[in-house]
Amino acid sequence: MEKIDSVLTRRRFLWTTSLAATFFTVRGAFAEQLARETAWVTEGPFYPPKLPLDTDNDLIIVNDSITPAVGTIAHVSGRLLDHKGDPIRNAEIEIWQADTTQTYLAERDRKTKYDANFQGFGRFLTGSTGEYYFRTIKPVPYPGRPAPHIHFKIKQKGNEPWTTQLYIKGYPGNAQDGIYGGIGDENAKATVTMDFVPLAGSTIGELATRFDITPGAAHHEDHHGPPPGGDFGGGDFPPGPPSR
């Protein structure tokens, strides 16, 4: 009975995520942002070479498992907008990140310790309002990347894929992170650095963040997964060109 209840709860969650995206837009908790261009940030070497069977927008539970991922639950939502501030619909937003053992999906075949209950990758197709929503974990730092982050890739028909990364506002490790430091000036950094605030009414310490995205020009990167024997000091590739 417990497993059945878990399955029904998960299905109910997936059916209502279109409403959840609006629910987690807490007016007053997040400052309204103009549709200024979001800073481009490198994709890095850890995009999954093989996507998991479960690629929905709930990264806490894999398929119909009853065991959740380890970590602080974070509700990540926002809108995908063009430069006029109009919503971009029918765009695919992908996210991926390391689990609490500091391991990406792309590294699992060469590591023995990882959280098998963390999906590690998710997708969401934007609707008429441009809204998206993910339930995931608060990102963690790892060797080579002292700034916790979530990778984003935007796929729109007729455009090249575009990437960025979401960072935690006020996190001490941001200042020591080479990729974060290479994003650009403080205004550029502000477009990818957001508050993770306590979710009202949560009894388990859940967080929520609002990250509106306005993609700019795509940057060309020449890499094909993690380099042999690891990456650059355990982190992602060095920063690309400064964001415009």
Q: Could you count the other beta carbons within 10 Å of the beta carbon of residue 157?
A: 7
Residue 225 lies in a domain: no
Question: What value does the mean pLDDT take over residues 192-221?
Answer: 94
- Measured CA to CA, the distance from residue 192 to residue 209 in angstroms comes to 11
DSSP state of 207: E
Residue 168 lies in a domain: yes
Residue 14 lies in a domain: yes
Residue 46 lies in a domain: yes
- Domain of 116 in residue numbering reads as 2-210
Residue 41 lies in a domain: yes
Q: What are phi and psi of 203, to 5 degrees?
A: -100, 0
- Round the average pLDDT of the chain to a whole number and report it: 84
Question: What value does the mean pLDDT take over residues 110-122?
Answer: 96
Higher confidence at residue 24 or residue 175? 175
Is the pLDDT score of 9 beyond 50?
Answer: no
Q: Could you tell me the pLDDT band of residue 3, with boundaries at 50, 70 and 90?
A: very low
Count of domains forming the chain = 1
For 87-101, b/e burial (b = at least 16 CB within 10 A) is ebeebbbbbbbbbbb
Q: Could you count the other beta carbons within 10 Å of the beta carbon of residue 142?
A: 18
Question: What value does the mean pLDDT take over residues 88-113?
Answer: 97
CATH number, residue 70: 2.60.130.10
Whole-structure pTM value: 0.82
Which amino acid is located at 25 in the chain? T
- What integer pLDDT is reported at residue 129 of this predicted model? 97
Residue 242 lies in a domain: no
Is the pLDDT score of 244 beyond 80?
Answer: no
- Measured CA to CA, the distance from residue 101 to residue 230 in angstroms comes to 16
Residue 160 lies in a domain: yes
**Residue located via tokens 């998710």:** 122
Is the pLDDT score of 26 beyond 80?
Answer: no
Residue 219 lies in a domain: no
